[in-house]
């Protein structure tokens, strides 16, 4: 797919990253070759090496490009946790969007790959955590702090509250999928029901109580 204003080099980068991501997810890190990636990207192996020094740097680029997508999630947090939208069920909307995004099959497979190679490439796992989950938690904590200041929530420790929110939302579904290979994925309806229940418990703990 052509992107308006994209340079030839940027297009090659994108095509190589797309092919590499598919190969790594399908065959794992060790089972994937640079030659296979080149074939799937319809470029020469020399072109792949011109854009990416080696397989490790290419795998790193794939992970970083995926982690960068959390920018969309962080923007979503700010949008759905404004005062008005929060009062209109914004936290449930956010929880539903988050759980369906983070339980994406390709994302789960990439997550397993990162964990499997954490000893070999520790910095990669660190980058994934910092640019992904850590930023989401910080953004959520900031929103909870603002809502508390405006007497919409009552949160004494915003980071702890964010940990509770993500823990209830993701701990069971995420671990279930990670350890079982997601052989029996939950339906969207089931994930949304789980998200709604998590929000209800969160608000029972942190919502403003009438005097």
Residue 16, class by beta-carbon neighbours within 10 Å (0-12 exposed, 13-18 middle, 19+ buried)?
Answer: buried
What's the pLDDT tens digit per position in 114-132?
A: 999 999 999 988 888 888 8
Looking at the fold, whether 50 and 93 belong to one and the same domain comes out as: no
What's the pLDDT tens digit per position in 19-77?
A: 999 999 999 999 999 999 999 999 999 999 999 999 999 999 998 888 766 667 777 77
Last residue of a domain, one of 62, 81, 102: 62
Last residue of a domain, one of 62, 78, 99: 62
* Residue 1 within a domain: no
Looking at the fold, whether 124 and 176 belong to one and the same domain comes out as: yes
Return the pLDDT at 211. 41
Looking at the fold, whether 164 and 150 belong to one and the same domain comes out as: yes
Of residues 87 and 189, more confidence is placed in 189
CA triple 140-142-147, angle to 5 deg: 95
Total count of domains within the chain: 2
Looking at the fold, whether 58 and 93 belong to one and the same domain comes out as: no
Return the pLDDT at 28. 92
Q: Helix crossing, 158-180 with 105-116: angle to 10°? A: 90
What is the domain extent for residue 138? 68-206
CATH (domain of 165): 1.10.357.10
Looking at the fold, whether 19 and 85 belong to one and the same domain comes out as: no
Assigned token pair, 73: 């999630």
Looking at the fold, whether 95 and 144 belong to one and the same domain comes out as: yes
Last residue of a domain, one of 17, 40, 62: 62
CATH (domain of 42): 1.10.10.60
């Amino acid at each position: 797919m052509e992107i308006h204003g994209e340079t030839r080099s940027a297009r090659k980068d994108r095509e190589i990253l797309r092919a590499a991501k598919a190969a790594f997810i399908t065959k794992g890190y060790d089972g994937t070759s640079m030659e296979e990636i080149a074939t799937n990207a319809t470029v020469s192996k020399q072109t792949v090496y011109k854009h990416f020094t080696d397989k490790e740097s290419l795998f790193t680029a794939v992970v970083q490009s995926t982690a960068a997508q959390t920018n969309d999630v962080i923007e979503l947090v700010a949008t759905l946790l404004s005062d008005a939208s929060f009062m209109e069920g914004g936290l449930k909307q956010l929880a539903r969007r988050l759980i369906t995004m983070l339980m994406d099959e390709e994302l789960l497979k990439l997550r397993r790959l990162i964990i499997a190679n954490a000893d070999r490439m520790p910095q990669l796992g660190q980058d994934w955590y910092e640019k992904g989950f850590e930023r989401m938690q910080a953004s959520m904590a900031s929103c909870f702090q603002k809502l508390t200041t405006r007497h919409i929530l009552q949160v004494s420790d915003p980071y702890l509250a964010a940990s509770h929110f993500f823990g209830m939302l993701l701990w069971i579904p995420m671990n279930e999928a990670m350890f079982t290979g997601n052989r029996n994925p939950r339906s969207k309806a089931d994930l949304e029901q789980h998200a709604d229940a998590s929000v209800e418990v969160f608000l029972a703990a942190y919502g403003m109580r009438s005097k």
